Structure 1
């Protein structure tokens, strides 16, 4: 609230003696001074009070009391939500001004004026009821939601990312902000059908400012933790000129910026920390810009205050090293890369091409080189990846043997189920068995011949994983088998699956080739697969519908630089699901 001396429009309560805003006359009885020489009591009639309400805003009220024998007045403006609404007047014919909240459209307050004397006279109390009317500032629009990926945003004030008419909250969001700091009046409003929250600061007249403070301060170099910095800060600003401001001054990190606002249009402001030399933000101050104009409530709307980083490039590459061939072509598979720097690992070769071909020294020996690709993003921040590249050596890709890929017992012995499970077991937070063996396998045997149904792997609804693949402790079952292939060769991952009908539409069998070998299921689930398929075809068991219940999948992938991959299978289902005839073989 602001204590001001303003008199634009006067609501004059009639009486014998009144005064105007421009008039400093006082009430003086004949032959007596205002101090009340010879008086025996305070003379303070109710009609000796002038109340003025400011035009155009409607919340600023000025009270001017007058009387005889009075040395001070205590004016209580009757605002139940404030402790700053009691003002003492010690000067003759002085005034008290109070700024009521402007987020209330209409309210009646009781103003109490107590006349006091230092001559021992009894206090005299007068009251006035005043109705404050204020046209609330409404917003017809809100700024667009940020298009930056969530992991690259650190929000100070924002509802989040808008998706299909709803907001998804940011993963990174500051919770130690104080938005109603300083002298400006703070309010939050909701805009539009999805109730986008927007800050409103009012009273940005003259030197009155709004201040957003942070405790602890924001350290730019560690915004995202573990020493990961932000590159910019963004603010969306808006004002309707006839009730707001046309220019805003923004101060943070020891730097000041000016922004001119178009009438009733949102303006985005982005500040580059590196170019401005800002390393820490203790507070953000918003005030009327230099040479700017503030009208009526001087309201500024603010939304989407967030720090963000330019997404780092994600370097990746493949290569077509051929056995006994020392010429290797590297193919860029990076994301968001703006430049390339190759180190071919032999201490000699380098390149800045996106897709270089490099000739290693042909000494007739198989050699392994550690090749590093460094890429930069839009603001030249580097990121690197290193892979093993083998040149020379024997020809032809390995054709691996998949243990128990047909899930059949040897010699029909039921005890062989344990051997089948052991071939597919991985340490897990789920059940120690990877699946239940079943006689309801595929009607096609491992050699591809159609006949009667064979054995297969079975997952019941109680053995399902969570939708994101993580384990339900004690229940979820995973099938896992480590496989060693020729490095950087194209392979086919083949398997059959079946899902009983009548379950949820989201039921699925998830099968993937993992990039590496793993010792526990949690790491396997969290890893990036070389190839992955989520099968949702529910045609019944393999043997249903004249043995047409199964679905055959053939997925092509390229092995990694060391040839170490793994087969990983699980189910997300509330009905029985089956897998059979799992194979991995080179592309012909």
Structure 2
């Protein structure tokens, strides 16, 4: 038996005269012009070797040959057709027949009858062939889904097309059986980037394709427990000459029909909520009511996926001001169609987009967990929660200056005043017992305390730049209330007898810095060059020091820094550095 699939095939019947000397030799017939003529017709058996070829179609061609034959009658064995019997009258002629493609597989008996015009009996030969019709390949595919990956669960889809390639979906339904129905199933690759497309053929009559799922798809939990899908999508395509023009789709107990345009991909979306579909056990595809199935009755399907509308992304900001019990909230959400605020005090709520809420003014500092819940246009919710602090002490921040009294004689005190990177000496100053006679709280007991000291070998250049390896800079970053007036206070002293250029330079820098050269080159919020040389703090009955109070306004973020160095050829001292809100 011959098995023939997807191609045009020729069965050649050849004539032969068997030699007496060699029973296996096949030679050409010799016609006699003077003899008595043939006494019978000869007709060898039809070859029975299997033949395979590529290409679409299920056409078989017969080319019989023999001796003493006037004509051949070829019956291709299709019992459902009256056009399958063909007569060949010319020498070495052929007969062809295109077998139907509407059955998945068929076995036929081909009968060739050789006839003589000399009155000899007919000679008959037969062969059985099995025909497996091929599927006409689809040449194009629909565009890939444009929905974000996290909002898609693919049943059959390569993924998202990007720069000529496919990015596979990470979310894929498992346990799907595409060959569950009685239609013929095939999967082909289309185009340069080999997009995969599934094909179903033989969708005649009640023949149906079926995609089954084990376990069944529960719509409410497609994206995780309680995270439901909104729709199912299918892309459908058929060439009417070899396909179907109308498709019936059944899923979740509901049936839908889609009319197809010839050789055009058509997208179908089904709304689970409006159709009341809660579970999908299988998807069946068959010929639609009053639809026409032609030839192979092939349907191409791609991009079968479940998807949801993108959820809203809630976000908000608020004006957090100390001691202010009235808070204005600014919505910054995306894809939101409605808003629901819970202000966290068990009382207040709002549906405004940008509400202002007044908390209870009891003079105490309180923290509330404020929740904004937003919905997308399908009314599905998402939320965000932030902590909002109101009330408490009024006024600007009063910063703590670490070791502003310089009283400790250890590394912790020096470390508090170091800048991370310096072109001078990594130590911020020398430590000295010749500090101010005043304590950090302003009391004066007539005896000196510890302080910071710069000697001539630790001085900066006159422009403030560092002498490599020598110059020492005292630096400390602090954070204040933004755009607020403050007082920068400190005491300095310079030993007498030096040059008139001797000075102690102290400033508040406009920001935080990690490099001493950048700090020197920056524009300070306030700065002072102290040149009074009245000796050590303790000289002349503790009158050697000079107290400086400089007012400045903090910047818009409140990030500033204290920066102190000396330009001197005599010892210079600093003590009791403070920053506090201006009165």
**TM-score scaled to structure 2, two decimals?**
0.52
Q: Distance in 2 between matches of 1:56 and 1:351?
A: 67
Structure 1 residue runs without a partner (length 5+): 2-7, 25-49, 67-124, 414-444, 455-482, 497-541, 553-583
**2:253 is aligned with 1:281:** no
Q: Distance in 2 between matches of 1:272 and 1:16?
A: 56
Q: 1:293 to 1:411 in 2, by over 3 A?
A: same
Q: Distance in 2 between matches of 1:63 and 1:236?
A: 37
Q: Deviation string for 1:60-92 (max 9, x for gaps)?
A: 6552589xxxxxxxxxxxxxxxxxxxxxxxxxx
| Aligned pairs (5 A) from 1:35-46 | none
Q: Deviation string for 1:306-356 (max 9, x for gaps)?
A: 111222222121100322222211001212211001122233322211111
**2:181 is aligned with 1:182:** yes
Q: Which moved more, 1:216-225 or 1:371-380?
A: 216-225
Q: Distance in 2 between matches of 1:169 and 1:257?
A: 29
Q: Distance in 2 between matches of 1:484 and 1:214?
A: 61
In structure 1, the residue corresponding to 2:301 is in which secondary structure? strand
Q: Distance in 2 between matches of 1:354 and 1:192?
A: 49
Q: Distance in 1 between matches of 2:77 and 2:192?
A: 50
Residue in 1 that maps onto 2:304? 305
Root-mean-square deviation (CA), in Å?
4.5
In structure 1, the residue corresponding to 2:179 is in which secondary structure? strand
| Aligned pairs (5 A) from 1:128-143 | 128=128, 137-143=136-142
Q: Distance in 1 between matches of 2:479 and 2:225?
A: 35
Q: Distance in 2 between matches of 1:312 and 1:400?
A: 46
| Aligned pairs (5 A) from 1:15-414 | 21=79, 53-54=98-99, 61=106, 63=108, 127-128=127-128, 137-393=136-392, 394-396=394-396, 406-407=419-420
Q: 1:291 to 1:196 in 2, by over 3 A?
A: same
In structure 2, the residue corresponding to 1:181 is in which secondary structure? coil
Q: Judge conservation of contact 2:77–2:110 (CA < 8 Å) in 1.
A: no
What's the offset of the Cα at 1:237?
0.9
In structure 1, the residue corresponding to 2:178 is in which secondary structure? strand
Q: Judge conservation of contact 1:338–1:377 (CA < 8 Å) in 2.
A: yes
Larger radius of gyration: 2
Q: Distance in 1 between matches of 2:401 and 2:153?
A: 49
Q: Deviation string for 1:430-453 (max 9, x for gaps)?
A: xxxxxxxxxxxxxxx9xx976588
What's the offset of the Cα at 1:153?
1.1
Residue in 2 that maps onto 1:45? none
Q: Distance in 2 between matches of 1:57 and 1:16?
A: 23
Q: Distance in 2 between matches of 1:484 and 1:284?
A: 64
Q: Distance in 1 between matches of 2:513 and 2:358?
A: 39
In structure 2, the residue corresponding to 1:212 is in which secondary structure? strand
Q: Distance in 2 between matches of 1:18 and 1:247?
A: 33
What's the offset of the Cα at 1:265?
1.4
Residue in 2 that maps onto 1:586? 558
Q: 1:175 to 1:204 in 2, by over 3 A?
A: same
What's the offset of the Cα at 1:303?
0.7
**How many residues are paired up?**
352
Q: Distance in 1 between matches of 2:233 and 2:78?
A: 48
In structure 2, the residue corresponding to 1:182 is in which secondary structure? coil
In structure 1, the residue corresponding to 2:371 is in which secondary structure? strand
Q: 1:334 to 1:64 in 2, by over 3 A?
A: same
Q: Judge conservation of contact 2:108–2:128 (CA < 8 Å) in 1.
A: no
Q: 1:342 to 1:240 in 2, by over 3 A?
A: same
Q: Distance in 2 between matches of 1:286 and 1:400?
A: 76
Q: 1:366 to 1:293 in 2, by over 3 A?
A: same
Q: Distance in 2 between matches of 1:272 and 1:340?
A: 25
Q: Distance in 2 between matches of 1:281 and 1:270?
A: 15
Q: Distance in 2 between matches of 1:285 and 1:301?
A: 14
What's the offset of the Cα at 1:181?
1.9
Q: Judge conservation of contact 2:399–2:479 (CA < 8 Å) in 1.
A: no
Residue in 2 that maps onto 1:480? none
Q: Distance in 1 between matches of 2:468 and 2:201?
A: 77
In structure 2, the residue corresponding to 1:245 is in which secondary structure? coil
What's the offset of the Cα at 1:364?
3.1
Q: Judge conservation of contact 1:59–1:132 (CA < 8 Å) in 2.
A: yes
Q: Distance in 1 between matches of 2:169 and 2:163?
A: 16
What's the offset of the Cα at 1:407?
4.0
Q: Judge conservation of contact 2:342–2:349 (CA < 8 Å) in 1.
A: yes
What's the offset of the Cα at 1:226?
3.3
Q: Distance in 2 between matches of 1:212 and 1:206?
A: 18
In structure 1, the residue corresponding to 2:360 is in which secondary structure? coil
Q: Deviation string for 1:170-211 (max 9, x for gaps)?
A: 121123221122111111121222111111111111111111
Q: 1:258 to 1:17 in 2, by over 3 A?
A: closer
What's the offset of the Cα at 1:225?
2.5
In structure 1, the residue corresponding to 2:180 is in which secondary structure? strand
What's the offset of the Cα at 1:241?
1.5
Q: Distance in 1 between matches of 2:74 and 2:195?
A: 54
Q: Distance in 1 between matches of 2:59 and 2:378?
A: 56
Q: Deviation string for 1:232-261 (max 9, x for gaps)?
A: 111111111221111111111111111111
| Aligned pairs (5 A) from 1:474-489 | none
Q: Judge conservation of contact 2:76–2:109 (CA < 8 Å) in 1.
A: no
Q: Judge conservation of contact 1:342–1:371 (CA < 8 Å) in 2.
A: yes
Q: Distance in 2 between matches of 1:348 and 1:240?
A: 65
Structure 2 residue runs without a partner (length 5+): 4-57, 65-71, 83-94, 112-124, 403-414, 428-459, 470-477, 485-509, 523-555, 561-583
What's the offset of the Cα at 1:304?
0.8
